[in-house]
Amino acid sequence: MIIRPAHIRDAEAICSLINYYAERGRMLHRSLESTYEALREFHVAQDEGGALVGCVAVDLFWSDLAEVKSLAVLPDRRGEGIGRKLVEAAIADARELGAARLFALTYEEDFFRRLGFSRIDRETLPEKVWRECIVCPKADACDEIAVMRRIDNA
């Protein structure tokens, strides 16, 4: 299994993996168009047979702040350490870009805790973070948890 930057030919598999979980209320829906637009932000996990088994993206917010988002692992490949490897790749990517802090909005608090993230008050995140909420069906009743981790070794 390798983690590598996404290629244009991965877009459809990334989009269908994200939307599998979006249909189950676990993630925000993503169009194929927005997947192509954001493709440079993605890393994917590819198994020995060449199949895409997971994805993750890093979005920069401000001088010191980045978000790890669109994290998903194929349902029948969960629990094999792929999610951990993807988040580690996202951390390396955000660190390389110079971000000091990485946050996520998630229902998977325990998973992120194991990777060194801690729960934070959502209200401490900049307003810009909530721009995608306009398109979310849960906008007015959001129950996602915010988690944050320093990645600059401070």
Ligand X SMILES: CC(C)(COP(=O)(O)OP(=O)(O)OC[C@H]1O[C@@H](n2cnc3c(N)ncnc32)[C@H](O)[C@@H]1OP(=O)(O)O)[C@@H](O)C(=O)NCCC(=O)NCCS
Interface residues with ligand X (CB under 6 A)? 21, 26-27, 71-73, 78-84, 104, 106-108, 110-111, 114
> Among all residues, whose Cβ is closest to ligand X?
83
Residue 118 phi/psi, 5° resolution? -125, 150
Q: How far is the CB of 150 from ligand X (least distance, A)?
A: 18
- How much helix, strand and coil, in percent to the nearest 5, is found in the chain? 40, 30, 30
Q: How far is the CB of 77 from ligand X (least distance, A)?
A: 7
Cβ-based neighbours of 125, under 8 Å, separated by 6 or more: 103, 146
Residues belonging to the chain: 154
Residue closer to ligand X by CB (options 58, 154) is 58
Residue closer to ligand X by CB (options 49, 79) is 79
Q: Which two tokens stand for residue 69?
A: 């988002």
Burial class (CB in 10 A: 0-12, 13-18, 19+), 24: exposed
Residue closer to ligand X by CB (options 11, 68) is 68
Q: How far is the CB of 74 from ligand X (least distance, A)?
A: 8
Q: Are strands 65-73 and 101-106 parallel, antiparallel or unpaired?
A: parallel
Q: How far is the CB of 6 from ligand X (least distance, A)?
A: 16
Residue closer to ligand X by CB (options 59, 108) is 108
